[in-house]
């Protein structure tokens, strides 16, 4: 099965982000991808006020605009994540899977929230985002009808190996990690964590990341990659906006 990671430099213009994402799904489909995976918060990256104001949920207009392209091209789409209204002024960070007919098949809400301080910035995701609770797997199929089970996670989840073990025990073959991993933490930990999750669970890992500056002092690492169960990096996009693809040998 051919899969694609979409690497984006998302800003605070939702309409512009949607256009870039739609074009990227087209590019991935042109390259033969059966499954296209977008990064975390692909539709909006901005300040706290904007996070609440743009929350629209898994079947909101942004995801629907992408799902329409995926349906026209006949591909599975994991739409990274969008913000979904939760309780009070909080939102969920929610990833949505759409099938090749554009139907919503699964939703995962990020469990582990990024509350951390680095030498360059402080991050408090929990000030705007409510954690999810459910561990989510979902089945997709190859072009010839072979079932493939995905394990759904988002970004900071990557640092919690127990979640990935649980997904593998539920039959996941491909672990999806749409992310906005920072430049500083990414340079130190991104690749080693992705390869570790692949090796320890015997799974493929598909990890699209955001890239570049989104807000002053907020930079993402890029280096979207696809890793096989042996820990071999099958595809990587170091910098810039674009798409990387790889064929997953599911018999491995």
Which amino acids are annotated catalytic?
40, 110, 155
> How far apart are the C-alpha atoms of 171 and 175, rounded to whole Å?
11
DSSP at 105: E
Contacts of 18 (CB under 8 A, 6+ apart): 43, 62, 65, 66
> How far apart are the C-alpha atoms of 238 and 243, rounded to whole Å?
11
**Radius of gyration in angstroms for the set of CA atoms belonging to the chain, rounded to a whole number:** 16
Contacts of 44 (CB under 8 A, 6+ apart): 10, 12, 14, 17, 50, 51, 54, 82, 83
- Beta partners for residue 32, in sequence order: none
> How far apart are the C-alpha atoms of 175 and 180, rounded to whole Å?
16
Residue with the two structure tokens 């990096």: 233
How far from chain centre, in Å, is Cα 39?
Answer: 4
> How far apart are the C-alpha atoms of 14 and 99, rounded to whole Å?
23
């Amino acid at each position: 099965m051919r899969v694609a990671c979409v690497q984006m430099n998302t800003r605070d213009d939702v309409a512009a982000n949607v256009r870039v994402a739609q074009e990227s799904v087209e590019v991935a489909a042109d390259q033969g991808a059966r499954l296209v995976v977008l990064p975390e918060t692909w539709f909006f990256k901005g300040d706290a006020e904007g996070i609440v104001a743009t929350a629209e949920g898994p079947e909101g207009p942004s995801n629907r605009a992408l799902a329409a392209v995926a349906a026209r091209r006949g591909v599975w789409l994991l739409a990274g994540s969008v913000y979904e209204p939760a309780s009070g002024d909080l939102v969920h960070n929610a990833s949505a899977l759409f099938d090749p007919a554009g139907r919503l098949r699964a939703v995962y809400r990020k469990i582990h929230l990024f509350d951390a301080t680095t030498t360059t910035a402080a991050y408090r995701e929990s000030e705007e985002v409510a954690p999810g609770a459910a561990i989510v797997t979902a089945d997709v199929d190859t072009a010839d009808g072979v079932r493939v089970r995905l394990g759904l996670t988002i970004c900071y989840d990557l640092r919690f190996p127990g979640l990935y073990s649980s997904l593998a025990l539920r039959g996941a073959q491909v672990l999806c990690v749409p992310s906005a991993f920072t430049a500083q933490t990414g340079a130190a930990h991104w690749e080693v964590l992705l390869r570790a999750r692949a090796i320890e669970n015997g799974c493929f890992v598909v990890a699209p990341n955001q890239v570049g500056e989104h807000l002053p002092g907020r930079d993402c690492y890029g280096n979207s990659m696809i890793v096989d169960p042996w820990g071999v990096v099958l595809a990587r996009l170091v910098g810039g906006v674009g798409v990387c693809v790889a064929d997953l040998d599911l018999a491995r």
